[in-house]
Homo-oligomer: A and B are copies of this chain.
Amino acid sequence: MSNVELDELRGRLDEINGKLLELISERAAVVQEIGVIKEKQGVPKFDPEREKKMLDELVASNKGPFTGSTIRSLFKQIFSASLDLQSDEHKKTLLVARKSHKEDTVIVLPGEVTVGGASSLMVAGPCSVESELQTRTVAAALQKAGVRVMRGGAFKPRTSPYDFQGLGMEGLRILREAASEYGLLTISEIVDPRHIEEALDYVDIIQIGARNMHNFELLKAVGEVNKPVLLKRGLSATLDEFVHAAEYIMSRGNTQVMLIERGIRTYERSTRNTLDISAVPILKQECHLPVLVDVTHSTGRKDIMLPCAKAALAAGADGIMIEVHPDPATALSDAAQQLNIDEFNTFMKEMNASGLFR
């Protein structure tokens, strides 16, 4: 007999479930309408006071069997799902979001070099441009190794104001000359909106460094030029912040943006930073932009750069950045972590042999 009873009770549950679904959906539609109005008024969508009032009223009229706190918690879930609906739409409308642009963005650089397409990109070069000789030596080695894009810092953000700050515009000029001599493209970090215009003559890709990922005035400024930008993830930026930093650039009109994971700050001290490998597939899913991995800054250790570069490509990265110096021990910055030219050649050979570097 009790099974008949059970079946009956289950039938009632199913009925109630159906009604709950209808009501919850209806509720969500109303919240969406409210969202549209608030959007127009420029008023924040989340209204904590209103939510509190609704919850208080629900708890007040609750007659059990749930406790007030269970009711509060269940309705907070429902309210928050409705709010998420609005933010899902917000994410849908981010220019960087894959939701708004299904295909991978492929950036075409001079000389038919592409980023984000069928072939992997290798960006290599010294941490800092130090001299013409040093820069030309690296450029020659890169050309020989089949690399197409050369990095080299001219404006160096350093922890101490008394550390070597880079050669500035003169460094960019040296980089451009060496690169041109060896048929390479250039990438270099810009740290001040006032330098952008002059720098455009020297760089093919503007790099925004980790310390400036949150420098929104600089992001806006590079958003207004017609030059590809490589944006580094901040020292401890969340992926959400990283994606929005890219949006700052794109929202100003510059659609040629590349993202680069460079390790995050954690408690672990056996690496300089912790390479957040999950960032690669997440960024590829959420955005349509090319994603690179900087194996030098993320690890700070030459002895694991090769496996980490392979891991990056296996995880879906579109390219790798690595530092190379003719004589790392005497480098003016990042001495311990730059490969020398022999080490770099071995690295490239292994990358090519891995089948992961396309």
**Across-interface contacts of A41 in B (CB, < 8 A):** 2
Counting CB contacts under 8 A, is A327 at the interface?
A: yes
How far does the Cβ of A4 sit from chain B's closest Cβ, in whole Å?
A: 11
**Docked-complex contact B216 and A238, CB < 8 angstroms:** no
User: SS class of chain A's interface: helix, strand, loop or mixed?
Assistant: helix
**Docked-complex contact B238 and A62, CB < 8 angstroms:** no
| Centre residue among A47, A67, A212, A281 by max chain B CB count within 10 A | A281
**Across-interface contacts of A47 in B (CB, < 8 A):** 329-330
Contact of A275 among B12, B277, B356 (CB under 8 A): B277
Q: A80-92 interface mask toward B, CB cutoff 8 Å, 1 = contact, 0 = none?
A: 0100110000111
CA distance A271 to B251 in the complex (A): 27
Counting CB contacts under 8 A, is A58 at the interface?
A: yes
Contact of A271 among B65, B73, B278 (CB under 8 A): B278
**Docked-complex contact A34 and B6, CB < 8 angstroms:** yes
Contact of A23 among B23, B62, B311, B332 (CB under 8 A): B23
How far does the Cβ of A197 sit from chain B's closest Cβ, in whole Å?
A: 14
Query: A215: nearest residue on chain B (CB-CB)?
Result: B215
Interface range, A side: 35 or more
Which one of A108-116, A142-150, A159-167, A180-188 is at the interface?
Answer: A159-167
Q: Taking A34-B6, A308-B281 as contacts, is the C-beta distance between A268 and B239 under 8 angstroms? A: yes
**Docked-complex contact B267 and A281, CB < 8 angstroms:** no
CA distance A44 to B16 in the complex (A): 23
CA distance A6 to B43 in the complex (A): 12
**Docked-complex contact A44 and B265, CB < 8 angstroms:** no
**Docked-complex contact B5 and A37, CB < 8 angstroms:** yes
Residues of chain A having any CB pair with chain B under 8 Å: 2, 5-6, 9-10, 12-14, 16-21, 23-34, 37-38, 40-42, 44, 46-52, 54-55, 57-58, 61-67, 70-78, 81, 84-85, 90-92, 130, 157-162, 164, 191-194, 211-212, 214-218, 220, 234-236, 238-241, 244, 247-248, 251, 264-271, 274-278, 280-282, 285, 298-299, 301, 303-304, 307-308, 310-316, 327, 329-332, 335-336, 354-356
